Amino acid sequence: MHVTTANWGNKALTNYQMARQIWDVETDCDALWKDYFARRYGPAADTMRAFYESLEKMFSNCSELKYGLARRLNSGQKDLFPSSHLRYRREPGVECNGPTLLEIVEHSRACRELIDRALAADLPERIRRRIAEDERMFTYGERTIAYFHACVEAFQLGRAGKRDEARRHLAEARELAKLLREDTTSVLYSYDHVYAGNALSASGAAGALKHLADLLDEKPPTTKN
């Protein structure tokens, strides 16, 4: 809906396909994808197509992550997974209509393995630059998902009385928050994130750290969101 103005990364396919289908609604998308991956990634086409497919699975539940889980983490709610559209894990007898958080984390790991494999290949410099841009944008999403996961683990373990384990996940969340806070580039070219200032604020869950510190009786470090 909002075309980013620069630093497209893998969004190049979304923007390219949208332009083609606006021009011709009968566009053969299978042929378009095949042509896109061959021309953009050359010898790495198959690996990068697998990366895009894993990325699709990783973010197919993005609305629930952004408008559901992130907001609940931000406000420290007790029930982090009240909707059947996003559960922590699949459990017998529990309705689950979308990818779970643990499945999303696994898709993220698959994406990392694939893009690292592509970057390690012997490629022309122009293709390597394109994959490097994809990797930068993916890292933004990867860290955001990892931050959500670490916060969820800390909340769940802390509320279960396993404070030492919870503190380890809180420490992980703080390290990820630091990396997200330092990322002021990824949010520059997106309509809905441009005013966030950094990737941590854009996550919508920066407040989780304070709620976790209160839950675990820890004094939070002095930082800005």
Q: What is the pTM of this model?
A: 0.92
What pLDDT does residue 5 have?
A: 72
What pLDDT does residue 221 have?
A: 65
- Residues 119-147 have pLDDT tens digits of 999 999 999 999 999 999 999 999 999 99
Residue 93 Rama label (left phi>0; alpha psi -120 to 50; beta) = left
State the first-to-last Cα distance of the chain, in angstroms, to the nearest integer: 27
61-135-109-64 Cα dihedral, nearest 10 degrees:
-10
What pLDDT does residue 93 have?
A: 94
What pLDDT does residue 130 have?
A: 96
What pLDDT does residue 11 have?
A: 87
What pLDDT does residue 220 have?
A: 60
Select from 208, 97, 223, 94 the least CA-distant residue to 156.
Answer: 208
Q: Could you say which residues of the chain have pLDDT below 70? A: 1-3, 190-196, 220-225
**Is the four-CA dihedral 36, 44, 179, 218 of positive or negative sign?**
positive
Q: How far apart are CA 173 and CA 73, in angstroms?
A: 12
Sorted by where each begins, the domain ranges of the chain are 11-215
Q: How far apart are CA 199 and CA 204, in angstroms?
A: 9
Q: Which residue has the tokens 């930082």?
A: 223
DSSP state of 68: I
Residues 6+ apart with CB under 8 A from 95: 84
